Amino acid sequence: MAYPKSTGDALTATEANNSYQQVVMYNQTITGGVVAGDPIYYTGSTWSLATTKNAAGVYDGSNVVTHGYVGGLSGLIQGEWYGKDSSGNLIPSFSTTQQSIGYAYSTTELIVTLGALNSYAGQRGVFCGGSVGATEQDTIDYVLISLAANATDFGDLSEGIDRSAGCSSIARGVIGGGEGSVTGSDLDIMEYITFSTLGNSTDFGNLTVARENTSACSSSTRGIFAGGTVTPNTLQNVIDYITIATTGNATDFGDLTVARSFSAGCSSPTRGIIGGGNDGGASNVIDYFTIASTGTEADFGDLTVARDALGSCASSTRGVFGGGGNGDTIDYITIASTGNATDFGDLLNSTDNISACSSNITGLFAGGSVSGTETNNINYITIASTSGSIDFGDLTVARDYVGASSNCHGGLQ
């Protein structure tokens, strides 16, 4: 396999498979003791030395197996997944009938991933459950975030669940909490899906407290569930965490600055953000915490408008909050700093009970209710800009209180 390649040069599966038995860095030195020639893997936020092999004899870690590295490219979109067209050229927006190749670590570096070669279908946003009237739904939909189109069926939850929240790594999405159709009561269950494989969700474990209307965010390794309601109306300040790659019960993380429900969460690779919600009335409070630690959240600032039942998404630097409180407001923060939110623009419609997910570039706001009626609309924004949303497509079923996640959000960069 020749290195480097130039933009437009073909990168075929045969070439990538030549390095099947080892993961090699080419002409690179990474801090932390990883040097050229070492077997390495990319976790979604950092390089690590591979010391174990999977059942196929391939080095791996955190369910992310890396073939190799292509440097010397130009014009790549950092954080974007690349496939190849029928001529073998690298393309950033590809369909499920085209072959995925890898992940743009920077504008000049492409990481070729084993899982991408036959199974990865691009940057996926997944929407789980929700409600139609008083009926909880078990539907799981997905979209390719880089390709505006209607959602496609992914599989089903174990039962109809609404008012849940989602977090994710590159490989796995987890939803937790909510209200279930079987018991009709608050749930402590967590379920997960594997983004690269269509199918039904699988049991993950249990939250520390059964609750609905919780919020969530994540880094590449750790998922956070914060706040919520214990029926009928007892607000919670509890924060739980999980290790996404390992199934099991959640562990206590700490507390929100104030007990609340119907908040929205987003994250950078290091910092989690929880904004808005209901603490006895609509809240404009934004809290933050360090995802890798444990402890009570700290005050970040305020939203431009106090509201609950909103959605949030993020790049690695910017968090965006949209809808909620029967409004169309979108506002944003710079995650690494603290301070009040700034106006971003507007949703296409005033939408309550909305959900959101994103790539590092594009944010999606989906479902919810408009004037009291469930909607199937998906809006999208360019996170780095400040402008209103644009129509993306539709969910397979109009519904609100959906749990959303993606394999490419800002917490993974």
- Domain edge (last residue) among 120, 141, 164: 120
Confidence category of residue 18, pLDDT binned at 50, 70, 90: very low
pLDDT of residue 196: 78
Question: Is the confidence at residue 31, as pLDDT, over 80?
Answer: no
Question: Is the confidence at residue 17, as pLDDT, over 70?
Answer: no
Instruction: Tell me, yes or no, whether 227 and 82 share the same domain.
Output: no
Tens of pLDDT along 350-365?
999 999 999 888 999 9
> Residue 399 CA to chain centroid, in angstroms?
20
Instruction: Tell me, yes or no, whether 225 and 283 share the same domain.
Output: yes
pTM for this model (two decimals): 0.75
Query: What's phi and psi for 192, nearest 5 deg?
Result: -135, 155
Instruction: Tell me, yes or no, whether 88 and 128 share the same domain.
Output: no
pLDDT of residue 229: 97
Task: Identify the CA nearest to 324 among candidates 341, 338, 337, 300.
Answer: 341
pLDDT of residue 28: 38
Instruction: Tell me, yes or no, whether 205 and 284 share the same domain.
Output: yes
Tens of pLDDT along 305-353?
999 999 999 999 999 999 999 999 999 999 999 999 999 999 999 999 9
Tens of pLDDT along 258-282?
999 999 999 999 999 999 999 999 9
Instruction: Tell me, yes or no, whether 249 and 383 share the same domain.
Output: yes
Task: Identify the CA nearest to 121 among candidates 66, 217, 13, 194.
Answer: 194
* CATH number, position 209: 2.120.10.80
Query: What is d(CA 240, CA 258) in angstroms, rounded to the nearest whole number?
Result: 15
Average pLDDT of the residues in 173-190: 95
Question: Is the confidence at residue 11, as pLDDT, over 50?
Answer: no
End-to-end CA distance of the chain: 27
- Domain edge (last residue) among 97, 120, 143: 120
pLDDT of residue 59: 47
Q: What is the mean pLDDT of the chain?
A: 82
pLDDT of residue 19: 33
Average pLDDT of the residues in 284-291: 97
pLDDT of residue 213: 98
Instruction: Tell me, yes or no, whether 57 and 192 share the same domain.
Output: no
- Domain edge (last residue) among 80, 105, 120: 120
Query: Which residues, at least 6 apart from 33, have a Cβ–Cβ distance to it below 8 Å?
Result: 49
Confidence category of residue 50, pLDDT binned at 50, 70, 90: low
pLDDT of residue 69: 62
Question: Is the confidence at residue 395, as pLDDT, over 60?
Answer: yes
pLDDT of residue 7: 36
Tens of pLDDT along 54-67?
444 444 444 444 45
Instruction: Tell me, yes or no, whether 377 and 235 share the same domain.
Output: yes
Q: Which of 27-41, 133-147, 181-195 has the lowest mean pLDDT?
A: 27-41
Q: Which two tokens stand for residue 392?
A: 């993306």
> Residue 169 CA to chain centroid, in angstroms?
7
Instruction: Tell me, yes or no, whether 306 and 407 share the same domain.
Output: yes
Query: What's phi and psi for 128, nearest 5 deg?
Result: -115, 130
Considering its fold, how many domains does the chain have in total? 2
DSSP secondary structure of 39-78: -EEE-SS-EEE---B-TTS-B-BTTB-EEEEE-S--S--T
Average pLDDT of the residues in 68-84: 70
Instruction: Tell me, yes or no, whether 98 and 206 share the same domain.
Output: no
- Domain residues for the domain of 150 are 124-412
Q: Which of 34-43, 68-77, 161-170, 262-271 has the lowest mean pLDDT?
A: 34-43
Instruction: Tell me, yes or no, whether 144 and 85 share the same domain.
Output: no
Tens of pLDDT along 105-145?
778 777 665 443 333 446 789 999 999 999 999 999 999 88
Instruction: Tell me, yes or no, whether 71 and 187 share the same domain.
Output: no
Instruction: Tell me, yes or no, whether 244 and 148 share the same domain.
Output: yes
What does each C-alpha distance from 33 to 27, 37, 386 come to in angstroms? 14, 12, 40
Tens of pLDDT along 210-247?
999 999 999 989 999 999 999 888 999 999 999 999 99
DSSP secondary structure of 266-297: EE-SSEEEEE--BSSSB--EEEEEETTS-S--
329-334 and 318-322: which strand pairing?
antiparallel
Task: Provide, rounded to the nearest whole percent, the portion of the chain with pLDDT above 90.
Answer: 62
66-70 and 110-113: which strand pairing?
antiparallel
